[in-house]
Structure 1
Amino acid sequence: MSERVMPGRAGGLITLGAADALWVDLTADRAVPTAPGAFTCSPAHARAGYVLLGGQLVATVRASGGQWSVPEIEVRRAAAELNAVRMDRQDLVRIGPFRGAPRQEGDEETPLRWRRRITRELQERGGPEQAVRREVGRPYHLAGIDWRQLLVEQHRDGTRRTWWLPRAVVRLLDAAEHAETQWVQAARTRRAGAAATESPSHPWQARDPGARQTTGPEDPTASPRPYNGELAGQLYSVLSRKPGTSRRVAGWVCAVCRGGPAAVLDHCHEHGYVRAPVCQSCNTLERPDHLYSNDIRVASRYTRLFHTDADDWLRHWHRCPGCRARTTLPLPHLAAWTACIACRSLRPTHRAPRGRKPCGVLRVSWTGSQNAPRSCLLTVAVDCCPSGEHRVLARVPYREAAERFRVWLAETSPAVAAAAGPDRLDDLPAQSRPVVADTSGEGLALF
């Protein structure tokens, strides 16, 4: 360590250099790799009054002599939180680049913006390999995490490259960005003179138990609260244009995992209704992996969506009144379910060290749309199969797939099935939005 850490010195405060060394020492050889310079190198800016460590925000203080310091106990607490994180390096989330993605509403005073930082860094330097070679010896991190050790680059169609990070790290960085946004908003409120007596100058300082608390649902300093269906039946096209929607969404906990802070409004692209506020990780988890507008790759994450966490995801998807009344799923999800569940027994296998392993990569395409069910046909195939590439496993009409799903839903999640169906119309909005117009399958962009 570059400086000796002396617990209890200066009221429990240690210098930034000592905090850097302590952070690396406490998190060495853990699941999530960390980087030196968490307090002293970009994008950390201790003079702003805080530093991000993992998913935590640690306040910095100006000690005697004008030297910036940090409470040692907070560094240790953040390190313990990070060390408890379990990470599956195979469970990846795409972080960019996204062609034609809308610009997310955000506060420019919030410097982390980690997705934008990673994309800009890799685009400017020609990719992760070149970036690492040019920055040898220079500590670089996001919230103290060495993301370069975890970044995975994949190529599509032989030319287009995409970047991925483990889901556990994405959730940590999302939590850090959320905590930073709350800090900036609270600091702005204090500068304006509002709620000066209720908001402490640093989050690590305990509040006075006898002080009157005035934080409400829209207060940026309030802890995220559970989502209880406040947006049920509302149209995304209307709600997304209302000012302050992003700030309101950030006040909820993710409605699916109920762990991380919500960041976006998930909605049904077929009917246009809002489902619920979710975190970035869950929003990416449920997004179909499109190859073309009517062709998706059935990624391994669907094992979780339709098996271990099926009840939570089915309940979430049926928050859309249109899908609930039809007792079905949006077409890309129904197609993935058909390939993953209904045609599971048809998928070829090959020998593996421990038994047999499903072969190739599942892919499902469709012709037509859900608006013309008689002509809509789902085709399930296996790519990269030793017995023949693009091997067609089954062709399933849309109506048959929907009926199979209804039977499976009743067996898998009876509570969700009981609340669905055309006779459950009590909570449908008075003015429903029709489904996406049929474009005969050409350029049909559901997501």
Structure 2
Amino acid sequence: MSERVVPCGTGGLITLGAADVLWAGLTAGGAVPTVSDAFTGSVADAGAGYVLLGGRAIATVRAGGGRGVPEAEVRRAAAELTAIEMDRQDLVRVGPFREAPKQHMEGPLLRWRQHIARVLREPGGTGRAAQGDGGRPCHLAGIDWRQVLVEQTRDRAAPAWWLPRSVVRVLDAAEHAEKQWLKAARQESEAMAEPSFRHRHAQDADGRQTARPDSPAPSLRPYRGELKGRLYSALSRKPGISHKVAGWACAVCRTAPAAVLDHCHEHGYVRAPVCHSCNTQERPDHLYSNDIRVADHYTRLFDTHTNDWLRHWHRCPGCRARATLPLPHLAAWTAHTACRSLRPTHRSPGSRGRRPCGVLRVSWTGSHQAPGSCLLTVAVDFCPFGEHRVLARVPYREAVAQFRTWLAETAPDVAAEAGPDRLDGLPARVRPVIADTSGEDQALF
């Protein structure tokens, strides 16, 4: 069914060009700078079915031979953005980072940090940030980020890029809204395709039940610790290692062929060969190099499949001997498990129950190789009432102690193999360490 696109019909659909004019007019007096082509300029993509405005993902509707958007949604997004106060002195570093974490997502995701880094690293650098492709203004979620970008250089180091904290929060909210929009669209698509899929795969041509798709192929051999204690830096350079890895079944799910060697980034030891799916599942959802979102997949890692993942992580001799986890995983565990009771809840619309507030985020300061200086900060973002609150600040050593207690209660078989008196699989020479600044002990390798 097609609907007529009204150029500026109150409460109805408006064309993308009219939406550009409306957005620019409504946000002209706000603290956060915006652009006049939020719907039609780079990097907006109305053809994807939605456009990001501030912290909202607004669906576009095909009508009258083109696309339109609900005028009410544009006005609502503009009102939310203009209500934001911006302190240009309260800055957050947005790059560049020495090891920029990669995001493995599907779909046309915003990835605003990567987008800014890509634009600023092009020939001309910051000077080209003012214009996008073809000389058109380049924006993110309707925000003219180039007007508030700050470049700072200290001690002859490479320049760093900074944005006001309020702008960073809006762009984070936009990225979150886009993920939720794509997730809902994917679930709707799968729900529509599921009946026919079941019908095709329930029986073969003779009406017999087909084999389970999650059964490992007969040619795959189970992993039995053949790479125990090996350093990834040396093993990954050996000829033919990729072919050897592909011969194993994934050491975590044990149903798919292995594709990569998972290893501990802190101690450098190989854990086991795993499939792409498990490798992606285990990867921390980084925002910055020291800041991660505690996303939904941590429920699987620390709730439904806890024993499998704890056993996998403790294949690293360093983590097993210290009865701990790599810092990103320990931080996620602290936020997801140890601080669960601190997370506020809100009434869930349309039901009598309550749901956890917003999205958990955890960051850390100090060096994990000097645990006396390391502090984990657990916060909640995207509260429905617009709050961004800090739930707890947990010293690294306290987080480790809490994890060890939980490990003994949750996975006693894994805990029994861990600890400083279990050094049978630990190489005689370990990686160099940075001494603990507290002087009490070297708590990590």
Deviation at 1:31, TM superposition (A): 2.1
Match of 2:146 in 1: 148
* 1:46 positional shift: 1.1
- Aligned partner of 1:312 among 375, 382, 391: 391
**Is the counterpart of residue 276 in structure 1 residue 335 in structure 2?**
yes
Superposed, 1:29-428 pairs within 5 Å as 29-64=29-64, 66-107=65-106, 109-132=107-130, 138-192=136-190, 194=192, 243=277, 262=295, 269=326, 273=330, 274-276=333-335, 282-283=361-362, 286-288=363-365, 312-314=391-393, 320=399, 322-324=400-402, 427=409
- Paired residue total: 291
Q: Give the AA of the match of 1:122.
A: L
Cα distance in 2 for partners of 1:54, 1:186 equals 19
**SS state of the match for residue 122, structure 2?**
helix
Q: Distance in 2 between matches of 1:264 and 1:96?
A: 26
Distance 1:49 1:165, change over 3 A: same
**What is the one-letter code of the residue matched to 1:172?**
V
What is the CA distance between 1:75 and its match in structure 2? 0.3
- In structure 2, relative to structure 1, the CA distance for the partners of 1:134 and 1:80 (3 Å cut) is closer
The answer for the alignment partner of 1:7 in structure 2 is 9
Which residue identity does 1:80 align to in structure 2?
A
Structure 2 counterpart of 1:148, which letter? Answer: R
Distance 2:444 2:31 in 1: 37
Given the superposition, is the C-alpha separation of residues 311 and 118 from structure 1 closer, same or farther in structure 2, using an over 3 Å criterion? Answer: closer
1:439: which partner in 2? 432
With over 3 angstroms needed to count, the CA separation of the structure-2 counterparts of 1:135 and 1:263, relative to structure 1, is farther
User: Matched residues in 2 for 1:297 and 1:163: separation?
Assistant: 26
2:27–2:82 contact (8 Å) kept in structure 1: yes
Distance change in 2, residues 1:314/1:293 (3 Å): closer
Alignment gaps of 5+ in structure 2: 1-5, 196-263, 266-270, 286-290, 302-323, 340-357, 380-387, 421-425, 437-441
TM-score with structure 2 setting the length: 0.51
- Answer whether contact 1:249 1:263 (CA < 8 A) is retained: no
Residue 317 of structure 1 deviates from its aligned partner by: 6.4
Considering only aligned residues, what root-mean-square deviation do their CA atoms show, in Å? 5.3
Equivalent pair of 1:152/1:165 in contact (CA under 8 Å): yes
SS of residue paired to 1:158: coil
Q: CA deviation at 1:103?
A: 2.2
The residue type paired with residue 170 of structure 2 is L
The amino acid that maps onto 2:28 is A
Q: TM-score, normalised by structure 1?
A: 0.51
Partners of 1:97 and 1:23 in 2: how far apart? 31
SS at match of 1:57: strand
Question: Which structure 1 segments of 5+ residues have no match?
Answer: 198-235, 252-256, 327-421
Counterparts in 2 of 1:271 and 1:39: CA distance versus 1, 3 Å? closer
Percent of residue pairs bearing the same amino acid type: 44
DSSP 3-state at the match of 1:163: strand
Name the counterpart of 1:208. none
Measured after TM superposition, the shift of residue 323 of structure 1 is 4.0
Answer yes or no: is the 8 Å Cα contact 2:294–2:360 preserved in 1: no
Q: Equivalents in 1 of 2:154, 2:366: separation in Å?
A: 12
**Residues 56 and 175 in structure 1, CA contact (< 8 A), matched pair in contact too:** yes
**Per-residue displacement from partner, 1:138-169 (whole Å, max 9, x unpaired)?**
32210001111121222244132221222222
- Tell me, what secondary structure is at the counterpart of 2:162? strand
